[in-house]
């Protein structure tokens, strides 16, 4: 059964390989014993359903990110790639990476070489209906982190 049957997309062959590899052999799939925070998001358009969990080390850096759930190959591969991309980063660095990734997925011009293998997902940006598939796990991380850091008020001033 083709997971892409509903929204066929054609991607560069090498990129396709990276995505399929993460889809078939997801990294960091599962649960963490004591996550600092977790977040569950759904993408009803496609049926993607992802929960991410994040562990922070004593210095506040991202020690581990895991995900679980189900969804299309793009959402699962992107979640798998995210768990590797954010590990070891400070919360600020992680948020910056999430924002970089989202800029790329929105098709904003510029070089995204710093995102490494995440560039495999650039082709998805040409298919608006699939962009949310690719950004779902990333939004979950961002929202979960914001809630985790909440409690200091939502300052609107600058």
Binding site for Zn ion (CB under 5 A): 46, 48, 72, 75, 133
Which residues 6+ apart lie within 8 Å of 31 measured at CB? Answer: 53, 66, 68
Give 7's contacts (C-beta < 8 A, 6+ positions apart): 46, 127, 129, 130
Closer CB to Zn ion, 66 or 75, in the complex: 75
Pick the closer one to Zn ion by CB: 17 or 45. 45
Closest approach of Cβ 127 to Zn ion, in Å?
A: 10
CB atoms within 10 A of CB 86: 25
DSSP state letter for 122: G
Query: Which of residues 72 and 86 has its CB atom nearest to Zn ion in the complex?
Result: 72
Beta carbon of residue 130, minimum distance to Zn ion (angstroms, whole number): 6
As measured in angstroms, the least distance from the Cβ of 19 to Zn ion is 12
């Amino acid at each position: 059964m083709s997971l892409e049957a509903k929204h066929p997309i054609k991607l560069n062959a090498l990129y396709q390989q990276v995505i399929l590899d993460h889809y078939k052999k997801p990294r960091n799939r599962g649960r963490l014993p004591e996550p600092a925070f977790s977040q569950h998001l759904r993408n009803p358009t496609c049926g993607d359903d992802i929960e991410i969990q994040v562990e922070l080390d004593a210095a506040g850096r991202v020690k581990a990110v895991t995900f679980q759930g189900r969804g299309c190959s793009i959402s699962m591969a992107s979640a798998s790639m995210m768990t590797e991309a954010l590990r070891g980063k400070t919360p600020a660095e992680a948020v910056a990476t999430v924002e970089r990734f989202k800029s790329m997925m929105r098709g904003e011009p510029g070089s995204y070489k710093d995102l490494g293998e995440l560039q495999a997902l650039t082709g998805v940006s040409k298919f608006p209906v699939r962009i949310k598939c690719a950004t779902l796990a990333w939004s979950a991380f961002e929202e979960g982190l914001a809630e985790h850091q909440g409690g200091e008020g939502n300052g609107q001033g600058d």
